[in-house]
Amino acid sequence: MQLDHEMTVLAGHCLCGRVSWSSPGPVTRNLVCHCEDCRRATSSPFTAFVGLAPESVVWTGDVNHFESSRGTQRGFCRNCGTRLYFRSVKWPGEIHIHAATLDKGVDYRPTTQVVLRSRAAWLEDLHTLPGCLEFEAPPRDAGS
Ligand SMILES: [Zn+2]
Ligand SMILES: [Zn+2]
């Protein structure tokens, strides 16, 4: 998947499908964020964002937001809770949409990492962990 000007339309949706979005671009940012706020807000070790001009994004469905700090909004689906976007007065001309909501998110490729000083330590070893193509069954000793 290419995130450049040849991409005609970016599109995504939440887990339950009630919220969807699309944008013709262009992409202003394409990055992984390791900051603690993003980790907590997404309950994940990091998140990836696609930056777009807010007026270029068409939303359908019922989107709510949480103001995680003054002037910073984190949008989510009212029905399933999927995180959808980050907006801040610090970056008034942009909305940062969670790349994991892309319809073809499995093919997504970020180009930059930010706030590396907050990166979860275990990510350094992620590529060394045993892997399974599907869910692991039965459970094994978790090595605790
Ligand atoms: Zn939803
Ligand atoms: Zn962040």
User: Tens of pLDDT along 53-64?
Assistant: 999 999 999 999
Cα(114)–Cα(39) distance, rounded to whole angstroms?
Answer: 13
Q: Is residue 134 part of a domain?
A: no
Ligand lying closest to the C-alpha of residue 15: 1
Ligand lying closest to the C-alpha of residue 118: 2
- The range of the structural domain enclosing residue 107 comes to 10-120
CATH at residue 116:
2.170.150.70
Q: Is residue 48 part of a domain?
A: yes
In percent, the amount of the chain with pLDDT more than 70 equals: 92
Give the contacts of 141 (CB within 8 A, at least 6 positions apart).
Answer: none
Torsion, Cα 87 90 93 96, to 10 degrees, reads -30
Q: Is residue 74 part of a domain?
A: yes
**Overall domain count for the chain:** 1
Q: Is residue 60 part of a domain?
A: yes
Candidate from 5-14, 45-54, 62-71 with smallest mean pLDDT: 5-14
Ligand lying closest to the C-alpha of residue 79: 1
Q: Is residue 144 part of a domain?
A: no
- For residue 33, report the distance from its CA to the centre of ligand 2, in Å: 5
pLDDT given at position 91: 92
3-state SS, one letter per residue, for 22-77: EECCCCCEEEEECCHHHHHHHCCCCEEEEEECHHHCEEECCEEEEEEECCEEEEEE
Q: What is the pTM of this model?
A: 0.87
- For residue 20, report the distance from its CA to the centre of ligand 2, in Å: 22
Ligand lying closest to the C-alpha of residue 31: 2
Cα(67)–Cα(87) distance, rounded to whole angstroms?
Answer: 9
Neighbours of ion ligand 1 (CB under 5 A): 14, 16, 18, 77, 79-80
Residue 139: band (very low, low, confident or very high) from pLDDT cuts 50, 70, 90: confident
135 or 49, higher pLDDT: 49
